[in-house]
Structures are given as C-alpha cells and as structure tokens.
Structure 1
Amino acid sequence: MRKFSRSLPVSLALAAALTIGMAACQKYEAGITIPSVTNPGVTNGLDTIYLGDSLKIAPTLGNIAGVPTYQWLVNGVEASTDSAFVFKPTANGDYTISFKAFAGNSLTGYYYRIKVFAPYENGYYILNEGSFPNPGSLNFYRGGEDTMITNIFARLNPGKTLGTTSQYGQLYNGKLYMVSKQGAFVAADANTLKETGRIASLPADGRAFCGIDNSRGLVTTADGVYVINLQTLTLGAKIAGITGQTGGIIKSNNYVFVLSETDGVIVLNASDFSIVKKSVKADVGFARSQDGNIWAASGKNLYAINEGTLEVKTYAIPVNIYDSWGYWNAGSLSAAKYENAVYFSETDAYGSGTKIYKFVPGIDTTLTTPLVKLPDNRILYGAGVRYNSRDTTLIVTALTSDYQSNTLLIYNAVNGTLKKTINYPGLYFPSMPVSN
C-alpha cells in the first residue's frame, strides 16, 4: 500500500481534510444502536495506487446490531454490496469512494480519496546522451522510491531506439518529445512511454524543442529553427532570418525566445514566427520566473527579459556560467514555481560543476553562498539541474569523476537540504531531467 506523501499535489492534501467518518442522522430513541467505523482500513482514508494495481478496502465496524448490509460507490456510481471492496481502476485520476453500512434503522459510512497514477506519471524522466555511438536512453524515477528504472523507453518499445546523443526532452500536451543531436526526433505518450511518432532525422544536428500550440512545435538545430506539425509529427519549414547554431527555446505569452550562437536571444512572434527583436547576446537559456521574466545567461551575467516589454535587466554574478555551443547542452538555468527564484550552476565547458546557486532578485546575498554543494567525487553533467514543481525539489543528476557511476540527488528547493540519494551504475551520461 502506497501512502500519500508531501510530494502529492496540494489539492490532494486539502482533500485529506474532507476525509470523515459520518454517522447517520437518526432519532436517539431508546433501543436504537448506532454503528460506527472503528478502523477504515486505509489510513486517514487516503492512498495512491498505479494503473494495473488493486487496493482492498476492508473497514472494521463496531456497535453493530443485527445483520448489516453494505454499499460502495465509486465517484457516485454503485460498485459493490460486499463488506469489503477491491478497487481496481481502469483510468488514472482522482477517485472518491464512499462506504455505507446499514444496520436496522441506522447507518454509518466513510469517504475515501484515492489517487490513481498512470505507470509513468508520478515521477520524472532522466534523458541520457548514451555512450557514443550507441543511441541515447531514457530512465525513470518513481516518486518516493529508492531505485532508478533504467532504459525504460527501449523496454516499452521493442526494436525502437532514440537518436544518438539524446540531449533534450520536453513534456507537452500529454507527450514526451525527445531531441537527439543525430538521428530520430521521437514522441511518446507521457504516461505509458509508448512511441506515438518519429521524424527519422532533422535537417541538421538537433538541439531543443518547444511546444507552441495544439498543432505546432519548434525544434532548434545546428542550422536554424524548424516548424514541426504535432498532429502528423512531420517537419515543416525553416524559420526565416535565423541561420547557424541555435539552442535554448521557450514560449511565453505572445513571444517565442530562441537562443542563437550568432545573435544571442532572438524574439519571435508566436503567431507567425516572424522576428520581433534581437535582444541580449546571451549564450545559455532559458527559464521563466514567477514574475514573468525570461532568464538567460552569459559568463558572469544573468539577464532578466521582461516577457511583455522585452526590456532587459542585467545581474552580475560571482561565478561563471560557461557557454555550451561547442558541446551543446540545455544548461542549468531553472526557475521556481512558488517563489520568485532562479537556479543555476557554476559550470565549465562540458557543463560540469559542483555548486548550485539560488538567486532571488533583489536579495544580493543569495549570490554569495551556493544553495547546494555536491557530495565529494560527484560532478554535474549536461543540464544537471531542474526544478520540480510537483514536490518543490531540485532534481540534480551527477556523475563520479570517472563517469562510471550515476547519482540522482533530490534537494529541497527552498533551503538546499538533501532529501534523497539514488546511486546507479552505467555509462548513461545524463543530459537533463524532464518533469512537469
């Protein structure tokens, strides 16, 4: 039985307050016995399970007179009249299960709140470059567990592989899109990981992907930016006016921000992809903070670009964020959802580093001391750092200095406390964590 943890959505935590034992309204006349639920069988009435699993609920009753009858409702629909109920869901989502026991002229009952996860919903993916020239791979960490599920894409899609040097992943509209430097651009169902489509190869080495709307996405490459039809997963036209290597990309309101090795930040109109402005000459990006700023970086500067006015504010930082054009990766910039904070790591040319900073604009002291210092003999690799809004943590992927062993580190994103360490061997070379 899997119990609720702090990693569950706030709405479910609030639902706990609604979990009650309800006694029927009867006249308290002499001789009437009022039954009660002495043990609901599920702690606090809350639990989580995964599709394919089942949950037996067997409440214990007290103060029963006569032979009781029972009723179980699942989201308002009768499902059983037995004393115990085996819940085996057919779809993921939030369920309310109500139990009623009738005895004589009285009844008692209990409400249960059950969260059902799809197999790969409660957790996050780790996209891996792979050991060249072997294809990239995908691992999955399930929330609250102590192991990493490795090579999950290959296991669930026999005979199919990702491209070579898989470098970027994004969850968008229920799908996981994966970009490799060479070879296939792949889409898979975000909850089952079953492949839903692929583009055999891109016009140039792939970099990053951004979903725009229900029918369009953009992919950056070593030679410009291309439109992708998300309905058919086919490659469209190249965006006019952008040549050479491009990397990071993010959509915010009416604009799309693209990182170009030649021009820095290029701002596109999200409707027709025309160039609106060539902004600051940054090398690493992007992240969107709570205040609506789009963040990029270069060397010892952070840039906050207002998503509405496109004005740029520069913040000097005491460490170097190395450009990744020669060995492209997505970079460590990430932003919090529930506070106005940006995270980044001090890096070298390969994305390696050992210190992670949390910068809160207006509080310069947040730049003087790193939020996180990696354990001894561990270095960041690739993007390395991503904020996870599901449980307010930092997902950090690290390697030993000989690259032979991998470590997933989970930190409290507010104070930098280390919450969990998962070690696993293999030449995976993690490129970036991918979460909602």
Structure 2
Amino acid sequence: MRKVQISFFAAALSVLGFTSCQKDNAATVTVPSIVSPGLKNGQDTIYLGDSRVLSPQLANTKDPTFLWLVNGVQASTDSIFTFTPTNRGDYTISYKILSGNSMASYYYRIKVLGKYDNGFYIVNEGWLGHGPGDVNFYRNGEDSVYQNVFQRENPGKTLGTTTQYGAVFNGHLYLVSKQGPLVVADAFTMKETGRIPQLPADGRSFCGIDNNTGLIGTANGLYPLNLQTLTVGTQIAGVNGQIGGMLKAGNYVFVISQADGVVVLNAGDFSIAQKVVKADVGLTQTLDGKVWASGGNSLYAINPQTLTTDTIAVPFTIYSTWGWWNAGSLTASTAENVVFLAKTLSFGGGNEIYRYVAGNPASLQTSFITLPAGKQLYSAGIRYNSNNNTVVITGIKSPGYGQDAQVNTLYIYDASTAAAKKSFDYTGFFFPAMPVFN
C-alpha cells in the first residue's frame, strides 16, 4: 500500500516537472477538473454503522490515477471510495487525481458520532415486579424515544431492580440499581463494559473522582470503587447511613448523608474535612463554582474552597426523598448562576419548576415552568442539559399510578426563557428516574 502512494506522488512530481519545461506549449497541458465533489461543501455528520459513498464528478481527464487518504493513511486507489468508519471522531479524507500531466485534489471532512452521541439518556426504574430497569434514548430533534436500549445492545443481559441513578464519567455510563448489579456501559455505544453483580448494600449513587477511582453511595454507607478493576473497597469511615447525591469540586468531595446532611471529604484520602449543613437533596454546581444543596424551606450555597455556606429562603417546602430514594430535582445551569428545583408534594409528583437566579430572592416568587394540566413530575423529574442550555423534564399522566403511569411525556424547555422547545408522549411502564447527558 505504501509503494502505491510513493509511486503516485513520484509520477505527479515527474509530470509537473515535465509541464514546467513545456511553458511554450500550454496546449499540451491537461488539467483534471473536479466538477462536483459528490458531497455538499465536502462536509457531513454520520453515525457509527453508517457509510458515505464519495464519487466526485470529473472533467478533462485522461487515463486518470486515483488516491484516497483517511487522516493521512492510504485507503484506496479506486475512482469511488466508500467511507465506513469503525470509531467515533473527526475525519479528513483526501482525494487526489492524476490525469494526463497534472493533478487535482479535494478534501472531505466528516464527523462520526456514536450511536448514542447526539442526544441524551433517560434512566428508567422499570416496572417493579414485572421487569428490571433499563435506559431509553432521545435523539436530538426527533419526536420519539428509543426504548430499552441497554437490553437491545446487550442481548441476554439486564440491569438490576429499580435502576435509580446514572452518571457519565470518562466515556462510560455508570448505572446504579437499588437491588442487583452496578453496570457500566460505553456511553456512546451502550455496550456493557463491566458489572459488579452485587453491592455491599442496596445501591444509590455514583461519583467519579479520577481515572482510577469512583465512589458508590448505598443504603448503608459509602464505598470506594476501583474503576480499572471494578472492585469495591472498604467502607469509608464516618459517612453513615443512606447516601444520596455526590459531587467532586476542587480538592473536596461533597456527599449527602441521611444521617449528617452534607459531608465534605478530602478528595485525596476520603477523610472527613467538615460536616457543613443538614440538607436532604442535591448536589449540583453553578457557573461560579458554588455547590448547592437543599431541604426544608432552604437552598444552600457552599463555597468549595472555604466551605462557608449561604442560606436562601424558599417559599415552599423542599421534601426529602429518603423514604423512596431518588436523586431529587435540584440541578444547575452551566451558562448562568442559576439553580432549578421542583415544587413537589410530600410523596413526589408536582408540576411546577422554579428557577433561582443567584442573588435574586424575587426569582423564587413565581414558577418558571408549569406542566400542562393532567401531567406531573416523576422521580428526579428535571435535569439541565449543558449541551444546548435546556431543561429536560420527564413527566407522566396524573395522578401517576395504575394505567396513568404508562403515559410518559418528555418536555424540553429553554433554560433562560422557559420557551417550550419540544414535548411529546410515549407509552410504556418505564417509571423514568432521571435524564443523563454525555
């Protein structure tokens, strides 16, 4: 293959040298022309599993010779090239034609997305007593969801019972069920890459720390997780009871414990640095770096360097989710210093989402988004999508039990203006736990 490439360019240089000696006889020069590259603007975006046939239309050619390079590596010497990528990424495809005594070239640029790149996941609890949890996928711009994609991509394998939490870290999706395995999948293909058949206690949450280490929250304590071997270490001392949300910020890891509220750990050795505030729901981080938690009638903004806390009064009750644990509604923008939270009933549900603008208590006096009549939130209910500055809401038909629970609605709103961008119904007893974004 290398010999063909060298021969091609040697011939091209020879012809060009010959042409320069024939300046007095321009009529003998034949310059091939690429009339149309066969791909608009030479650019495209495709998904893994797709192909693109590149067939340039030519003029003024005589005995042509062809060369195709993909990211600098020779791929073909045919006149037509079928590009079938095997990996995600950005590709430059060079096309060169030598004809008569001259050469022409063209460059194609193709972005290859993973099958589950352009959109987001919805982690589903599953219908308790009828089947395990699973994951749906929404592709941006469409009006439907791809259902149960974990089982579709991994025939014969399932998640655990009541899959309540998902998080993407270093290109992997970590899926935590209340009972059964912790499962890890490639975040772009959904192919399983590993699992722990049983955790030390019922699973709750996951937090990635570095390339080698994560943390697993359970119904009874906090455990380190070796991400390379996928093995669970010894329970971390001093962090007791049921563990909810977790977040790494700077040199600290923030953990919500039912027993102690927000516990701050030193990221290096997971020793306790401080117990800062008795909160129940969180955690999330705004653009200014503040770490947020909530509970009762308060929002808490924690400085991740000094661990000092500001308290903001909320004109309604933020109920805990410990009794039927879910990740809670608290979520933050990465474009503004804004926190979103839901006004729920004591047992969940509700249909109002509030948007707190940091430093502006008046922003909590009226709801930012209200779901249509007959719809209510389920489980965590809302998450901010930093990829396009939207709020994603998973709802079901009210009152949310019996046959109503199979009528799901996905809502997408502009996170700055509350303008409705997308909403549609889909059917199934999924019981959506939370949206998760790459």
Shorter-chain TM-score category? Answer: 0.7 to 0.9
Mapped to 2, the partners of 1:376 and 1:30 lie a distance apart of 78
Name which of structure 1's ranges 293-302 and 359-368 shifts more when overlaid on structure 2: 359-368
Give the alignment partner of residue 356 of structure 2, picking from 350, 354, 359: 359
Deviations for 1:47-101, whole angstroms, at most 9, x for unmatched residues?
A: 1212222111223346x36455443221122323333321111211111122334
Offset of residue 313 of structure 1: 1.3
Secondary structure of 2:293 counterpart: strand
Deviations for 1:350-370, whole angstroms, at most 9, x for unmatched residues?
A: 432222233331344543443
| Structure 2 residue 163 is the aligned partner of structure 1 residue 181 | no
Mapped to 1, the partners of 2:252 and 2:45 lie a distance apart of 39
Mapped to 1, the partners of 2:409 and 2:199 lie a distance apart of 32
Mapped to 1, the partners of 2:359 and 2:66 lie a distance apart of 60
Mapped to 1, the partners of 2:42 and 2:187 lie a distance apart of 29
| Structure 2 residue 87 is the aligned partner of structure 1 residue 91 | yes
Q: Which residue of 1 aligns with 2:10?
A: none
Mapped to 1, the partners of 2:44 and 2:297 lie a distance apart of 47
Give the alignment partner of residue 118 of structure 2, picking from 111, 115, 122: 122
Q: Which residue of 2 aligns with 1:383?
A: 380
Give the letter aligned to residue 84 of structure 1: I
| Structure 2 residue 74 is the aligned partner of structure 1 residue 78 | yes
Give the alignment partner of residue 310 of structure 1, picking from 291, 297, 307: 307
Instruction: Judging by fraction of residues, say which structure has more helix.
Output: 2
Mapped to 2, the partners of 1:373 and 1:35 lie a distance apart of 62
| Shift in CA distance, 41/384, structure 1 to aligned 2, threshold 3 Å | farther
8 Å CA contact 1:331, 1:351 repeated in 2: no
8 Å CA contact 1:327, 1:349 repeated in 2: no
Give the alignment partner of residue 261 of structure 2, picking from 260, 264, 275: 264
Offset of residue 225 of structure 1: 1.1
Identity of aligned residues (%): 56
Aligned residues: 411
Gaps in structure 1 of 5+ consecutive residues: 1-23
8 Å CA contact 1:350, 1:382 repeated in 2: no
Offset of residue 263 of structure 1: 1.4
Give the alignment partner of residue 214 of structure 1, picking from 211, 225, 244: 211
Offset of residue 277 of structure 1: 0.4
Give the letter aligned to residue 290 of structure 1: L
Q: Which residue of 1 aligns with 2:106?
A: 110
Mapped to 1, the partners of 2:268 and 2:260 lie a distance apart of 21
8 Å CA contact 1:177, 1:209 repeated in 2: yes
Secondary structure of 2:359 counterpart: coil
Offset of residue 223 of structure 1: 1.6
Mapped to 2, the partners of 1:45 and 1:147 lie a distance apart of 30
Name which of structure 1's ranges 207-216 and 87-96 shifts more when overlaid on structure 2: 207-216
Mapped to 1, the partners of 2:64 and 2:270 lie a distance apart of 67
Offset of residue 249 of structure 1: 0.8
Q: Which residue of 2 aligns with 1:429?
A: 431
The 5-angstrom pairing of residues 30-41 of structure 1 reads: 31=27, 37-41=34-38
| Shift in CA distance, 102/289, structure 1 to aligned 2, threshold 3 Å | same
| Shift in CA distance, 308/51, structure 1 to aligned 2, threshold 3 Å | same
Secondary structure of 1:279 counterpart: strand
Mapped to 2, the partners of 1:367 and 1:116 lie a distance apart of 42
Q: Which residue of 1 aligns with 2:273?
A: 276
RMSD: 2.5
Give the alignment partner of residue 418 of structure 1, picking from 417, 420, 424: 420
TM-score by length of 2: 0.86
Give the alignment partner of residue 56 of structure 1, picking from 39, 53, 56: 53
Gaps in structure 2 of 5+ consecutive residues: 1-15, 399-403
Q: Which residue of 2 aligns with 1:148?
A: 145
Offset of residue 272 of structure 1: 1.1
8 Å CA contact 2:31, 2:100 repeated in 1: no
Q: Which has the larger radius of gyration?
A: 2
Secondary structure of 2:152 counterpart: helix
8 Å CA contact 2:33, 2:61 repeated in 1: no
| Shift in CA distance, 414/78, structure 1 to aligned 2, threshold 3 Å | farther
| Structure 2 residue 132 is the aligned partner of structure 1 residue 132 | no
Q: Which residue of 1 aligns with 2:4?
A: none
Offset of residue 166 of structure 1: 1.0
Mapped to 2, the partners of 1:182 and 1:189 lie a distance apart of 22
Offset of residue 188 of structure 1: 2.0
| Structure 2 residue 213 is the aligned partner of structure 1 residue 237 | no
Give the alignment partner of residue 390 of structure 2, picking from 393, 398, 418: 393
Name which of structure 1's ranges 141-150 and 425-434 shifts more when overlaid on structure 2: 141-150
Mapped to 1, the partners of 2:263 and 2:331 lie a distance apart of 19
Mapped to 1, the partners of 2:35 and 2:350 lie a distance apart of 55
Secondary structure of 1:243 counterpart: coil
TM-score by length of 1: 0.87
Q: Which residue of 2 aligns with 1:12?
A: none
Secondary structure of 2:345 counterpart: coil
